Structure 1
Amino acid sequence: MTHGTDGIDSTTYGTFGNGGTGRTESEPHYNLKMFGEVVKTFRKRARLTQEEFATLVRYSLETIASIEQGRRLPPADFPERADSLLDAFGVILAAAKHLTRRKGLASWFRQWALLELGALSLYTYECRLIPGLLQTPAYARTLFADRLPPLDDEQIEARLAARLERQELLRNRPNTAFTFILEEHLFLRQLGGEEVTRELIDHILDLSELRNVDVQIMPLVRHHHAAIDGPMQLLETQEHQWFGYLEGQMYGQFISDPKVVSMIQMRCASMPSQALSLDESKSLMRRMRGAR
């Protein structure tokens, strides 16, 4: 199973999703960083500041900075504009091809994983297991250890290390709003045992204190539920475009169709009022943990 509702397809990277699977790919940031260095080199060759280049190429300074730092996927028309403006001999266009042609990486997931790096907001509803961004090492290790077909010890450690690295998104992107709505039964299942669950709840409570992280619990009994069809994610880019992501046992689906994205937006908009409030959710987690 992919178990990957938090942005990286674990069937290809094998590490960053919620549960992790078999195959692995090279670190996804690498190609972005290389592309950013190429753009920066030609910009400096043209004796342009980031501000001047941003104006000429008609993108925000923040977008240009993110591209050069390897933190986001360039917009579709950026490589051609930049290559022409900087007289880059086709080098920027050639470098951009490596961002979209990655062996074994499905196109729908590649788009989501790269967009996530520069997202303004990321909304996650999960009813199967705790999202990868919120998992503790012990919880993640349980998922990897229980996977079928089985992983060996080296594969488990590699996937665990990559998952922990990915979780830095929550702290490294303080201007990105992360919203999680989790079903109460995810904690009551006690995956990994009581101690693993208590540690998990403490970890999520700590993360919920971050200004850019909201965690709400959907109670077991709820007469109205907008996401009864299953887990979903919604992402807003720096250009205020919206995309969705849906996932099953083996595959995920990147959603760009405005009609479908609008449906996901409506469901996401309804969920916070149906879930417990932020304070009520924290109180419930403390009670489930056994706090007095």
Structure 2
Amino acid sequence: MRPERPAESDGTAHLFRALGKMIKVLRERAGMSQKELGLATHCGEDLISAMERGVRTPQPEFLELADDVLSAGGLLRATIGEVREALAKARTRHPEWYRGYANLEAAASQLYDYNNQAVPGLLQTEAYARAIFTQRRPLLSEETIEKRVADRMDRQRVFERWPLPTFHFILDESVLMRPIGGRDVHREQLQTLLRIGRLRTVQLQMVPLDRTEQPSLDGPFTMITPKGKQQLAYLEIHGYPRLITEPEEVRVLAIRYGIMQSVALTPGESLAAIEKMLGER
């Protein structure tokens, strides 16, 4: 039997969807916009929207602040115990085949990712992720799609950690040209890549299609360094994952990644290329 995917075997997704609806009702009753609630609770407008739709997890600290801001009378505070339990469950909800990597990613000090197939999960917008899962064959149920999207969005909390890990992404130009989900989804995804690529701890590089040297036609891979430990590598092809810990194999992939960095555009050139794709230059 194929292992269950993240978030498919517990009720945390249902809890966060219900809590998101509650937050939305309280916000609208208070006459506040998502932007106003975000400012009052030190969150971004996009994060408020995602929480209300149940695709991002409301943190206990947010619930404490929002209870006062929205005059909820303790309603949101009363959910904090269940949220803490759900968060603890979420940390171990990944199936065995994925759990080791998921835990490493969440605690990484450095992460390097090369992809020539699709935008990496950590960089995907909600709409892009939904398009990816909707197009999967054999077809997934609507409930499964929503659960997988929620889990993917939750992984992006790694960008909210402090101190922040160091991130480096190399994307083949074909990934950026492929309009998965349609024109609007594609445009939003490119804009998100620009935003994340400008973060202090993120470097994003693009490998142009006209490059004659391409040492990683075998496919995507990730180099990850857990805090205080040796670098590891992770591969996942057609749903078959492999966490590589053998030093010599890791070294070979690290060398390959270094070559990819040398043939790619610089981070500045890469962001300029994305801006050109968006028609901003």
Please report the TM-score for the alignment, with normalisation by the length of structure 1: 0.64
Shift of residue 117, structure 1, vs aligned partner = 1.9
Decide which of 133, 140, 148 is 1:159's aligned counterpart: 148
Decide which of 128, 132, 145 is 1:139's aligned counterpart: 128
Change (3 A) 1:150 1:203: same
Shift of residue 146, structure 1, vs aligned partner = 1.0
One-letter amino acid of the counterpart of residue 182, structure 2: G
Output one character per residue of 1:248-291: Cα deviation in whole Å (capped at 9) or x when no partner.
Answer: 10201110111101101111122211101011101110111122
Please say if residues 205 and 264 of structure 2, whose CA atoms lie closer than 8 Å, have aligned partners that are also in contact. yes
Gaps of 5+ in 2: 13-88
One-letter amino acid of the counterpart of residue 96, structure 2: L
Change (3 A) 1:224 1:145: same
Output one character per residue of 1:202-238: Cα deviation in whole Å (capped at 9) or x when no partner.
Answer: 0110111211111111111111123222111111122
Output one character per residue of 1:61-109: Cα deviation in whole Å (capped at 9) or x when no partner.
Answer: xxxxxxxxxxxxxxxxxxxxxxxxxxxxxxxxxxxxx9xx989512xx3
Decide which of 253, 262, 267 is 1:264's aligned counterpart: 253
Please say if residues 236 and 242 of structure 1, whose CA atoms lie closer than 8 Å, have aligned partners that are also in contact. yes
Secondary structure, counterpart of 1:125 in structure 2: strand
Decide which of 117, 128, 133 is 1:128's aligned counterpart: 117
Match of 1:205 in 2: 194
Match of 1:105 in 2: 96
Please say if residues 6 and 94 of structure 2, whose CA atoms lie closer than 8 Å, have aligned partners that are also in contact. no
Please say if residues 170 and 178 of structure 1, whose CA atoms lie closer than 8 Å, have aligned partners that are also in contact. no
Match of 2:5 in 1: 13
Please say if residues 13 and 25 of structure 1, whose CA atoms lie closer than 8 Å, have aligned partners that are also in contact. no
Please say if residues 12 and 105 of structure 1, whose CA atoms lie closer than 8 Å, have aligned partners that are also in contact. no
- Please state which structure has a larger fraction of its residues in helix: 2
Match of 2:227 in 1: 238
Please say if residues 187 and 278 of structure 2, whose CA atoms lie closer than 8 Å, have aligned partners that are also in contact. yes
| Coordinate RMSD, CA, aligned | 2.4
Change (3 A) 1:173 1:156: farther
Match of 2:237 in 1: 248
Please say if residues 106 and 155 of structure 2, whose CA atoms lie closer than 8 Å, have aligned partners that are also in contact. no
Change (3 A) 1:174 1:241: same
Please say if residues 125 and 180 of structure 1, whose CA atoms lie closer than 8 Å, have aligned partners that are also in contact. yes
Greater RCO, 1 or 2 (C-alpha within 8 Å, sep 6+):
1
Match of 1:221 in 2: 210
One-letter amino acid of the counterpart of residue 13, structure 1: R
One-letter amino acid of the counterpart of residue 210, structure 1: L
Please say if residues 94 and 102 of structure 2, whose CA atoms lie closer than 8 Å, have aligned partners that are also in contact. no
2:244 and 2:211 map into 1 onto residues whose CA distance is: 28
Please say if residues 12 and 25 of structure 1, whose CA atoms lie closer than 8 Å, have aligned partners that are also in contact. no
1:266 and 1:131 map into 2 onto residues whose CA distance is: 20
Give the fraction of aligned pairs with identical amino acids, expressed as a percent.
36
1:138 and 1:281 map into 2 onto residues whose CA distance is: 23
Change (3 A) 1:248 1:25: farther
One-letter amino acid of the counterpart of residue 151, structure 1: L
Match of 1:280 in 2: 269
Gaps of 5+ in 1: 1-9, 16-22, 28-97
Change (3 A) 1:256 1:280: same
Output one character per residue of 1:143-198: Cα deviation in whole Å (capped at 9) or x when no partner.
Answer: 11112222222222222222212111123244310111001111212111111111
Please say if residues 167 and 202 of structure 2, whose CA atoms lie closer than 8 Å, have aligned partners that are also in contact. yes
Count of paired positions: 202
Please report the TM-score for the alignment, with normalisation by the length of structure 2: 0.66
1:11 and 1:232 map into 2 onto residues whose CA distance is: 22
1:181 and 1:174 map into 2 onto residues whose CA distance is: 23
Further displaced range: 224-233 or 275-284:
224-233
Shift of residue 124, structure 1, vs aligned partner = 0.3
Shift of residue 123, structure 1, vs aligned partner = 0.5
Match of 2:68 in 1: none
One-letter amino acid of the counterpart of residue 279, structure 2: G
Match of 1:76 in 2: none
Match of 2:20 in 1: none
Change (3 A) 1:131 1:140: same
